[in-house]
A and B are shown apart, each in its own frame.
Chain A
Amino acid sequence: MDTPLIEFKDVTKRFGDRTVLEHVNLQIYEGQVTTIIGLSGSGKSVLLKHIIGLLKPDEGTILFRGKPLTGMKKRETSESLAQISYMFQDNALFDSMTVYENIALPLRETTNLSRAEIDCRVMARIEQTELGDAAHKYPSEISGGMQKRVALARALVIDPQIVLFDEPTSGQDPVRKNAILGMIAQYQRKFGFTAILVSHEIPDVYFISNRILALYNRTIVFQGTPEELEHFDHPFKDEVIKSIEGLQEELTGLYSKRQFKVLNHAQLKRRTLGETYSVAVFTLKGLNAIIATLGHEAAQEAIRSMGVFIDKHFSAIGGFSTRRHTSEFITVLPYSDLAEAEIILQDFVKDFQEQGIRDIWAGARKRAVTDACVEFTILAGIAQGQPIVEIDSVIRSAEQQQREIAWLWCDERR
């Protein structure tokens, strides 16, 4: 693998008698979204503040592109840190400045750009983060979600190569949480920066993260992909992930990906060879167009409504569902062969066309930034699996079978 962009070697940090980080070793790679997960008060924000230089380690070394920060000349350190932006947990917006002035601040103070150039760059970020109407309002006059977007716009206005997000979704409702995570993922793809997140939002952060770092008992106990975390056997998983996932399930009714796999595995173990099960895959098509027209929050509300409708329908007949990708849901029908599943799906399609798609549109419209109409198309596909076959291949097969089951343009159905 390439040289890590940021590397911690045996970093220890103490505040008085309390050790917050102990022999922390980690690597963060360029161009990726890396998420640091852990319980509240476990030192995640402290870890992040070491990267930006707000805190210095008591022991150990922090390397930036292979070079220790402590060994660098002042100018070199300053140049390295100038590539980094930081989005604070509580936004840290200047409440005596307007939204526009907050976003323009780093450009006004650290560059020699002309007023017109600054205006152009600030307005571009304001448009991208859907803050046009709030540009001349003060932070106290806008909602928490908008304040997050202002903080995000301010972090991105200098075109940083690395952006650190400290609990970007804290204090937000589930829809806004996913909207902010979606926004981070979208901008990361668009601008290509390296994103480092601190978050509790398990499993939602898995959808946008390339790598996960788990902080537990003052040290990093896991580094790897979200898929690798599924197979990670450690007390951290019981204490942190399962408890958070349990809460997630209570709130949404949907299983996490990991719970879904465990449940599926348990179901399959009970089956004998020759018995079959079915998998249905549902996708909301054209999510980017929905985001572009109605905004992130509306898109996330649409996805949430879709998940709730799917879960309500299939859990009543013994099925269990999870969200696999940003706009894709999977349902396992453990006791149905393909023929039965087809009939069940037809019932679902009828219900969905009558009510489900309208629920999705109604949910989206509540959070939409405009009154514009947008096309909602839902695809569904089913496939049959056997206990000996890996579920991933059955899901792929169902994806290939997908066809349009519902379409809506404002209140007009097809």
Chain B
Amino acid sequence: MTLDENSQKLSETKAGWQPGLILTGPFAIFGRAAIRWTNHLGASAVFLFLACLKIFRPKQLTKIVQQIYYVGARSTMIIILVGLFTGMVLSLQSYYTLVKVGAQGALGTLVALSLVRELGPVLTAIMITARAGSAITAEIGIQRISEQIDALDTMRIDPLGYLVSPRIAAAVISFPLLTALFDLIGIIGGYISGVILLGANAGTYLFRVQSSMEMKDVTDGFVKAVVFAVIVSTVCCYQGYFAHLRTDSHGAKAVGLATTSAVVFSCVLILVADYIVTSLLI
């Protein structure tokens, strides 16, 4: 039974509404939502699985490189800007707090670990979602409503392999690299703010950055980046690919809503996944 048929059945049940159902009503609404989300989750998992299988087909390399350019390379500037100011504000806030307890020497440790373990992967993923994820959903959504995806089908070109697989592969490659860039720029931002502007000791800052970080901190950050890459690329592609099946709107409006949904779901799922991955890795 499809999601729509399910909803329809439940709506029909709603038509026979009785006063006694007032108590059970909220549970029914919750149940409907749970069924809908379970369906979406299952469909997304199948979608991701099939798309991953098609990454390794011939003629994919060029498309993956193109997508790395769109998803990764063209996000560099925004990552540099956000990384720089995140590092600067983090250093600024931390410096005044640490001064109060006489521990300003730990500024490098605090900035580096916060960025590498948490802020780097999360903010990078959120920024790429805002910049590239929304564009992916809108592009695939428009291709869907203008029958371009059907056209691929009629040309015997697998739409999943052609449109989705290269984007997932590109995200998995780009996210860790952009996270590394974010971390580096963030640490530099912390140096500018803490050392150059506030007068913390430069040698102590750099020594603490180097000595407090272990390889595990870096790899854990990259693991998160890969998980976020899979989440963002799958959610954004899925929302665009099935924009035509939305029941709340049609056409261009459906693409607009799909884009909004993609960004919101991606951001929420990034934070949820961040907690789960952190608790597993810690």
What residues of chain A have their CB less than 8 Å away from a CB belonging to chain B?
52-54, 78, 81-82, 84-86, 88, 90, 92-96, 105-106, 108-110, 154, 158
Contact = CB atoms under 8 A, between A and B. Distances in A.
Contact of A88 (B143, B147, B162): B147
A93 to B, nearest CB: 8
B156 A90 contact: no
B100 interface: no
Nearest to B5: A16
A85 to B, nearest CB: 7
B212 interface: no
A54 B153 contact: yes
A86 B156 contact: no
A152 to B, nearest CB: 13
A86 B59 contact: no
A387 B47 CA distance: 71
A85 B152 CA distance: 11
Contacts of B143: 94
Contact of A106 (B139, B150, B157): B157
Contacts of B148: 92-94
B280 interface: no
B154 A86 contact: yes
Given A94-B148, A105-B155, 16 more contacts: A52-B153, A52-B154, A54-B150, A54-B154, A78-B156, A86-B154, A90-B146, A90-B147, A92-B146, A92-B147, A94-B143, A95-B146, A105-B157, A106-B157, A108-B59, A110-B156
Interface string B110-146: 0000000000000000000000000000010001001
Most chain A Cβ neighbours within 10 Å, of B59, B143, B146, B156: B156
A69 B148 CA distance: 24
A82 B157 contact: no
Sorting the interface of chain B by its residue count into under 10, 10 to 19, 20 to 34 or 35 or more gives 10 to 19
Please indicate which of the listed interface residues B143, B155, B156, B157 has the most CB atoms of chain A within 10 Å of its own CB: B155
15 contacts: A85-B155, A88-B147, A90-B146, A90-B147, A92-B146, A92-B150, A94-B148, A95-B146, A105-B157, A106-B155, A108-B59, A109-B59, A109-B155, A110-B156, A154-B155
B154 A109 contact: no
Contact of A109 (B150, B153, B157): B157
Nearest to B4: A16
Which of A84, A86, A92, A93 has the largest number of chain B CB atoms within 10 A? A92
Contacts of B146: 90, 92, 95
A88 B147 CA distance: 8
A139 to B, nearest CB: 11
Nearest to A166: B147
Nearest to B162: A109
A94 to B, nearest CB: 6
B156 A82 contact: yes
Contacts of A96: 139
Nearest to B147: A92
Contacts of A88: 147, 150-151
Contacts of B139: 96
A187 to B, nearest CB: 18
Interface string B62-101: 0000000000000000000000000000000000000000
Contacts of A93: 148
B12 to A, nearest CB: 12
A86 B151 contact: yes
Contacts of B59: 108-109
Contacts of A95: 146
A265 B147 CA distance: 47
A106 B153 CA distance: 10
A84 B153 CA distance: 11
A390 to B, nearest CB: 45
B154 A84 contact: yes
A105 to B, nearest CB: 7
A78 B7 CA distance: 34
Contacts of A109: 59, 155, 157, 162
Contacts of A53: 153
B226 to A, nearest CB: 28
A322 to B, nearest CB: 37
Contacts of B153: 52-54
Contacts of A84: 154
Interface in B156-180: 156-157, 162
B156 A81 contact: yes
B151 A92 contact: yes
B250 to A, nearest CB: 14
A174 B154 CA distance: 29
Interface in B39-79: 59
Contact of B155 (A78, A90, A110): A110
A122 to B, nearest CB: 14
Nearest to A107: B155
B61 to A, nearest CB: 13
A85 B154 contact: yes
A259 B195 CA distance: 92
Nearest to A158: B155
The 3 closest A-B pairs by CB, nearest first: A92-B151, A86-B154, A92-B147
A109 B151 CA distance: 13
